[in-house]
Structure 1
Amino acid sequence: MTTVTGVGSTPLSGVGTVRWYRPDEALDLPDRPDPEAVDPERERDRFESARDSVREDIRRARDRAAERVGDEEAAVFEAHEQFLDDPQLVDGIEATIDDGVTAEHAVDDVFGEFVAQFEGMEGRMAERADDLRDVRDRLLRELLDVDAVDLSALPDGTVLLAERLTPSDTAGLDPDAVAGIATVTGGRTSHAAIIARSLAIPAVVGVGEALEEIPDGATVLVDGEAGEVVLDPSEGRRAAVSELDAPVVDDHVATADGREIEVAANVGRPAELDPAVARGADGIGLFRTEFLFLDRDAPPDEDEQFDAITAALDAFPTDRVVVRTLDVGGDKQVPYLDLPEEPNPFLGQRGVRLSLGDHADLFETQLRALLRAAATEHGADLAVMVPMVARVEEVDAVREQVESVAAALESEGVEYAMPELGAMVETPAASFVADALAERLDFLSIGTNDLTQYVMAADRENDGVADLHDPLHPAVLRAIDRTVDAAHEGGAWVGMCGEMAGDPDLTELLVGLGLDELSMSAVTVPAVKQRVRDTDTDAAEALASEVLACETRAEVGEALGL
């Protein structure tokens, strides 16, 4: 029994038969012709034709991924499409063609330079090299007329090994057939790893060259919790790992000393409802309504939104469902809404700012659907939260709008009910006025992805500042602590729906900080529930106090044993 180690990406394990995936073997380029024999105009036309075809392929891949894993995870394909228009890449390829190089060699040369640059960096910047490879390989396949390997048709029980997997590769996998994946390169925050987690596929990345020693056809165990790949695992090792996989718990859970913590799921598409139920989620802590507005030419009407919300309520008839009102702007663009072009859209008109401004009509329609849904059979546990709150005045305006919609429904004789009302804490401003927000609302939900971005002044899509976008920085942790304390003093409960909530290694800390609810990708619900059960509140609070006293990120990591 041989064990090689890497970085665990998905906290699950699986056993199966190895199949190596080596896509580069199908992309062998022909010898370079003499530059004098190359027709630059023809090669430019070939390149443009390939770009057009790949653009359509990427858009189809984005739609498929959004349907399977959600819009946020699928957004990587929008970045891939942008590579096709990147002046440095396009101009470089065209200039290389003009020097007498064929289109396929020009694509390989120019993309190769940028891939090498990214690989020479650290962290997320290095992981973005795989995104460039994804686009490069699509272009090369088109230029060489080579079909992609169909990874969606792998036999049951396959453990897929590869030097690396691109986002396209991973999004095409069938989670019912693939028992696990492991790669030579890669990190936990790579887009491929994120998609693997969303698909609930056991994954270990960054194993190194030792993975190459495992042959096709071998039996291996992929332990995404321990970050291990085990060749020819013993029965004892198989049994031990199966015990590590947290069992699904349908009931709500409490800490070892009896403090109940709600462990809910983030849902971005109707297709994610059943998996959330199957993984034992205590309702929905973040129901993203953006999916209703995407991939269409006009906004959904009131009835369509009502049907989508009631479907979520019916999936969790005895649990709370928290619906976020339309959150567009920033990195979420909807063409038919004619959103403003802004020099810094993350600091511009997004979330509640649009709902109370240019798109007040859409907000009113959505509120009508929500209040009607609250009056349905399972609507008593409906909660509504507004995104991107920064001012108390915004909450007051939202409350007035809710009351206005309720009055209109009553005058029309339409049955309605008032749901819980809350706000997302994504801005430092919201954290600073959390006490005043809590006096006006039933709950606050901390969105750690954006809160980290704004506290650290670090664009979460900018790899150049990726090391700053860290929710474990002391400043972010203190903002979370301040929010929880202020909300509780104001009588509101507090949840968290950012990626931080779904990391089992942070569960004890979050319990110690006083969170009442944690919401995450459904795949991590069982593991987080298990960590909640294993946590003692007094010990968790002591850990939180120790962490909050830290002055640097390194000290936080040491305190948490990370």
Structure 2
Amino acid sequence: MTERTLRGIGATPLSAVGSVVWYQPDEAVDLSDPPVSETVDSDTERERFESARERAREELETERDRAAERVGSDEAAVFDAHIQFLGDPQIEGAVEDEIDSGLPAEHAVKEGFASGIEQFEGMEGRMAERADDLRDVRDRLVRLLVGAERLDLSGLADGTVVFAERLTPSDTAQLDPDTVAGFVTATGGRTSHAAIFARSLALPAVVGVGDELSEVKEGTTVVVEGEAGEVVVEPDEGTRERAAETDRAEVRHEPVTTADGRGIEVAANVGQPVEIEGATERGADGVGLYRTEFLFLDREEPPNEEEQYEAYRETLAAFPDGRVVVRTLDIGGDKPIPYLDLPEEENPFLGERGIRRSLGVDEKLFETQLRALIRAAGEAEGDLAIMFPLVATVEEFEAGRERVEAVVAKLESAGEPVARPEVGTMIETPATAFLAPDLAARADFLSVGTNDLTQYVMAADRGNERVADLHDPRQPAVVRALRQVVAATEGTDAWVGMCGEMAGDPALTELLVGLGFDELSMSAVTLSEVKARIEAIDSTEAERLAERALDASTKGEVDELLTEANGDRDQ
């Protein structure tokens, strides 16, 4: 049979060859027609529902802890959302109404969750993905109520490529990267839970392939091209060999330079201890984005100063010769923390989040975090850099820096060992891209968060598949914004880095070097590939590529330039 290619969205820049196993959880529980209502005892069914909820809660807590250990607390936090759904009054009321109407508990759960799922499906972006979360909770409850066995994804044969309509967080967390070659789904986007877990597990994955996926039969040999977003069905021998050759570059533990000697720092984005370990194993020069939110999740009150101090000290100690860039608490938007009583906002991504809360309602938390960070830096060997999230004005940055200076002064006066940190800001908003010269004159560094910057520059929700072509950092407007930020640091003492998804895409490394970035920070899974690309790059040629990209008027033109450059380098 001639090979054919299905196209979707690449979730990880890795490739794999394997044999298809279809995962169809809907077939595991086939609810028969409900009995007549006169034979159903509502009190008994309500008790069954409550019992199933309690068992589901226990399962979710166990899976959350396992996922946190394997892929990190940021990703595992989705299970906390599932636990919240179990206790949602609106959903609980809908299920109990169905029980009172004469349905057994399992049928009541199916009906009671339906309107919530439909409501989320009608939304866009990340909110639409909550429909999958609700399905996951619904299916778990139904399985427990009917006593069905859970389909085990943890014991699949070596070389399996999992095909599915969709994979929920519970499904993806079961996958063993030592045996599963990769996975492919019909639905989903790059920011879906399945895609995020794939990157954390270093699994080749393609999502959002569409209905064509159903035509591929169980047992078929496929190549999963996670970088290109392609699934090659019945690949020929040459395609298989190429996929095997591009699986993983050699780990480089030393800093790298371009072919003509320009040093580029290659750092890792981390969120908790297991990711820090992975970053050191894969050769990270340091940490370019330390998400501190994980310390505040899965608890009933915020961590105290000593808890934070220990966590930060351990991270700095892991990179004694490197730099650790810590983003201060970035909550709001899609990062709810129940005990902080976040307001309900019509558009939370444009609301009270990041530095806006740290300088306002969360100022005490902010000072505690700064104290813990600066104390940790005074004790550990690694260099600390503090970075503020979602800055939009010079005043916000200056206010944040003043808070850092005040904490340093207090600790010094108290006789505490202190290491004065670098202080910088994320560039995530068009406002800071325009204000980059003013910020570079005041900050020690600027770090571009391309996920949000692209979203705001292009007015395209980063989680909305319908505008995925717009939410693409190869759009000329984004490329020009990046160059504007880099140019603002030239002739100053400030360095400039990038910690968004763009930094970890090896196909874009030459462009970023050409634009002038000093540091690139990414998921640990792509560290080796990016370091290898840097060593093969000539800075002058990279600058020529960047100049041509800056002159481009369309994303298609930028794509052509990158394809040509990557093709020339790979020959």
> Per the shorter chain, which TM-score range?
0.7 to 0.9
CA positional deviation for 1:200: 0.6
Aligned equivalent of 1:450, options 425, 449, 452: 452
Match of 1:292 among 290, 295, 301: 295
Quick check: 2:313–2:380 contact (8 Å CA) kept in 1? no
Aligned ranges for residues 534-553 of structure 1 at < 5 Å? 534-553=536-555
Cα shift at 1:312: 1.4
Cα offset for 1:326?
1.9
Question: Deviation per CA, 1:375-424, whole angstroms, max 9, x where unpaired?
Answer: 33523x22221212222222222333222222222222221111221111
Change (3 A) 1:180 1:339: closer
1:61-89 C-alpha deviation (Å, 9 max, x unpaired): 44543443234434544665676688997
Q: Which of 327, 330, 350 lines up with 2:330 in the alignment?
A: 327
- The 1-side partners of 2:185 and 2:336 are apart by 33
Map of 1:408 onto structure 2: 410
| Bigger mean CA offset, 7-16 vs 410-419 | 7-16
- Distance in 2 (CA, whole Å) between partners of 1:139 and 1:121 is 24
Which secondary structure does the structure 1 equivalent of 2:313 belong to? Answer: helix
Residues 473-531 of structure 1: CA distance to partner in whole angstroms, max 9, x if unpaired? 44333332221211224331111111222222222222222221111111111222233
What secondary structure, in the 3-state scheme, does the structure 1 residue paired with 2:260 have? coil
Structure-2 separation of matches of 1:405 and 1:96 = 56
Q: Distance in 2 between matches of 1:50 and 1:523?
A: 38
1:504 aligns with 2:516: no
- SS of the residue aligned with 1:10? coil
Q: 2-side partners of 1:232 and 1:543: how far apart?
A: 33
Query: Residue 202 of structure 2: SS of its match in structure 1?
Result: coil
Tell me which residue corresponds to 1:426: 428
In the TM superposition, what are the counterparts of 1:474-493 in structure 2 within 5 Å? 474-493=476-495
AA paired with 1:287? Y
Q: Does 1:266 align with 2:269?
A: yes
Distance 2:427 2:515 in 1: 15
Matches within 5 A, 1:28-47: 28-34=30-36
Among 141, 144, 159, the alignment partner of 2:143 is 141
Q: Matched residue of 1:416: which SS?
A: coil
More divergent stretch after superposition (450-459 vs 482-491): 450-459
Structure 1 counterpart of 2:533, from 531, 534, 540 = 531
Q: Give aligned-pair identity as a percent.
A: 63
Deviates more, 1:282-291 or 1:74-83: 74-83
Residues 41-50 or 332-341, more deviating: 41-50
Alpha-carbon separation, structure 2, partners of 1:475 and 1:363: 34
TM-score, length-normalised on structure 2? 0.83
Equivalent residue in structure 2 for 1:213, among 210, 217, 223? 217
1:421 match: secondary structure: strand
Alpha carbons of structure 1 residues 543 and 133: separation in structure 2 relative to 1, 3 Å: farther
Deviations 1:82-108 (A, max 9, x none): 766889977876777677655544655
CA distance in 2, matches of 1:31, 1:348: 47
Counting matched residue pairs gives: 558
Aligned residue for 2:193? 191
CA contact (8 A) 1:220 1:233 kept: no
Asked if the contact 1:182–1:229 (Cα under 8 Å) also holds between the matched residues in 2, the reply is no
Q: Give the AA of the match of 1:213.
A: K
449-458 vs 283-292, greater mean Cα deviation: 449-458
Evaluate the alpha carbon distance shift between residue 118 and residue 412 of structure 1 in structure 2; reply closer, same or farther with a 3 A threshold: closer
Structure 1 residue 237: Cα displacement:
6.4
How far apart are the structure 2 equivalents of 1:97 and 1:3?
Answer: 52
Distance 1:551 1:175 in 2: 41
Structure 1: how far apart are the matches of 2:404 and 2:288?
21
Deviation at 1:547, TM superposition (A): 3.4
Q: Quote how far apart the aligned CAs of 1:39 are.
A: 6.1
Please state if 1:254 is matched with 2:263: no
* Partner residue of 1:280 out of 280, 283, 287: 283
Distance in 1 of aligned mates of 2:563 and 2:331: 37
* Structure 2: gaps (5+ residues): 565-571
1:288, CA displacement in angstroms?
A: 1.3
Q: Which moved more, 1:221-230 or 1:507-516?
A: 221-230
Once superposed, what is the RMSD of the aligned Cα atoms?
Answer: 3.9
Distance 1:64 1:465, change over 3 A: farther
Letter of the 2:439 partner, please give it: L
Counterparts of 1:129 and 1:358, CA distance in 2: 31
Whole-Å separation in 2 of the counterparts to 1:124 and 1:328: 16
Q: Is the 8 A contact 2:77 2:298 kept in 1?
A: no
Aligned partner of 1:11: which letter? P
Matching residue within 307, 311, 315 for 2:314: 311
The code of the aligned residue for 1:305 comes to Q
**Distance change in 2, residues 1:28/1:210 (3 Å):** closer
Question: Could you say if the C-alpha distance between residues 86 and 17 of structure 1 is closer, same or farther in structure 2, counting changes exceeding 3 Å?
Answer: same
- Compared CA separation, residues 110 and 528, structure 1 to 2 (3 A): farther
Which one is further off, 112-121 or 420-429? 112-121
Q: What secondary structure, in the 3-state scheme, does the structure 2 residue paired with 1:455 have?
A: helix
SS at match of 1:27: coil
**Equivalent residue for 2:170?**
168
Which range is displaced more, 285-294 or 531-540?
531-540
Are the structure 2 counterparts of residues 58 and 555 from structure 1 closer, same or farther at C-alpha, using a change threshold of 3 Å?
farther
The answer (yes or no) to whether the contact 1:20–1:161 under 8 Å persists in 2 is: yes
The one-letter code of the counterpart of 1:480 is L
* TM-score of the pair, normalised by structure 1: 0.84
Equivalent-residue separation in structure 2 for 1:325 and 1:186 (angstroms) = 30
Deviation at 1:313, TM superposition (A): 2.0
Contact map agreement 2:11 2:195 (CA 8 A) in 1? yes
Question: What is the aligned partner in structure 2 of residue 349 from structure 1?
Answer: 352
Task: State the one-letter code of the partner of 1:193.
Answer: A
Contact map agreement 1:118 1:129 (CA 8 A) in 2? yes
Question: Contact 2:190–2:463 at 8 Å: present in 1 too?
Answer: no
